[in-house]
Chains A and B, each alone.
Chain A
């Protein structure tokens, strides 16, 4: 943990709300991206971020200062997101998929006819979102952390609070499921 962050955490622990404010500013966007990929839509992602900071604030006294604050915060956010995703699945609700204006597939320059490409990228995006919904909560969490957040497996296991072997297997299962679901589409897309 870098020195400035360590100092902020120490101040926040002793009750300095401004220090906690600075930590919120530092980590909120990263947490939002993680939450969005876990939940699939903006309102839920914002709820997860809000709930995560609240839980973090309540539990600051339990935080081990030798550990990374970011990893600890990610762990809380993953738990919040998992709670939300699982309760949705339990209630049989569909995970809402949101249209994104800055879709890189849509905005990338292309030599193919635009309508075809748009249709294909829209379908791919939809299929990717569906395939993500097919993953179990643990698979989804492990995959998001490894693939989108670029964490090494060792770090993924620290965030998820499991053994590296378990994190690795969740990632393998996730990739296998995604491959089965997406191969027909990405195989013909080139």
Chain B
């Protein structure tokens, strides 16, 4: 047998190498390869120093307590896509009607309304900021990908599909809030995400170049960056939105 490559030795460590018996025989007779294998072994055994703390008892209950409140409200919305937009439209129509009637038959809204609207707006800005950042990361990676042959973008397509779901909601929220700049950028982003989602899972280098040109021509990355940094200036990052 020829000297195994480092890759073969790594696979051997994980018991995934072909010709395991021949490899072992070779290692027992070849000092050079055995030295390399022992080094691989030492390194990978040493990785066990990276231990993971066990979450404290009751972790599952704590997690569920944070998750549960958001699930029922999203439930019907996410499981019945056919009704999604009908439900959203009906909700918006009711809100508009309530707003119209409130304006028509009551005095101007007192301060508490303005106060309660502010945190909601801020929460939306944080959520949109997070969404813009994740979109930027995905598009930048795609724009910087290098490929001599066909490139598998199924991973990015899956992320684009996730982002699309969120994007539609945020675009609608921005439109209804009258924020035409954000809504416009999200609209541009939606078209790009749709294109990526519906592209073939393996794209040629020429298709990749075309996509890059498209991203550049639309200036989408620039717009996202500007919008994201504007958002960051207005809000403090705040995790755990649940």
Contacts and interface: CB of A to CB of B under 8 A. Distances in A.
Interface stretch (A1-9, A111-119, A120-128): A120-128
A176 interface: yes
Given A50-B66, A60-B78, A83-B137, A105 B49 contact: yes
A102 B81 contact: no
A168 B10 CA distance: 10
Nearest to A187: B42
Contacts of A50: 63, 66-67, 240, 242
A60 B137 contact: no
A79 B162 contact: yes
Q: Interface residues of B: mostly helix, strand, loop or mixed?
A: helix
A36 B161 CA distance: 26
B49 A190 contact: no
Contact of A183 (B39, B67, B133, B152): B39
A60 B79 contact: yes
Interface string B30-53: 000000000110111111111111
B101 interface: no
B148 to A, nearest CB: 14
Given A14-B79, A79-B162, A33 B44 contact: no
Interface residues of B, number: 52
A125 B49 CA distance: 5
A36 B39 contact: no
Given A175-B40, A186-B42, A79 B51 contact: no
A166 interface: yes
B78 A124 contact: no
Interface stretch (B54-62, B88-96, B109-117, B214-222): B54-62
A176 B159 contact: no
Q: How large is the interface on A (under 10, 10 to 19, 20 to 34, 35 or more residues)?
A: 35 or more
A15 interface: yes
A87 interface: yes
Contact of A13 (B79, B134, B155): B79
B18 interface: no
Interface stretch (B21-29, B69-77, B203-211): B69-77
B48 A161 contact: no
A36 B52 contact: yes
Interface in B112-135: 133-134
Interface string A146-169: 111000110000001111001010
Given A17-B68, A162-B155, A163-B152, A102 B51 contact: yes
Nearest to A176: B6
B63 to A, nearest CB: 6
A100 B53 contact: yes
B133 A87 contact: yes
7 contacts: A50-B66, A57-B67, A147-B47, A161-B154, A182-B46, A183-B43, A186-B45
Interface of B: 6-7, 10-11, 14, 16, 39-40, 42-55, 59-60, 63-64, 66-68, 70-72, 74-76, 78-79, 81, 133-134, 137, 152, 154-155, 158-159, 161-162, 165, 239-240, 242
Q: Closest 10 A-B residue pairs measured CB to CB?
A: A161-B155, A186-B46, A186-B42, A179-B43, A125-B49, A36-B52, A124-B49, A105-B49, A25-B60, A100-B51
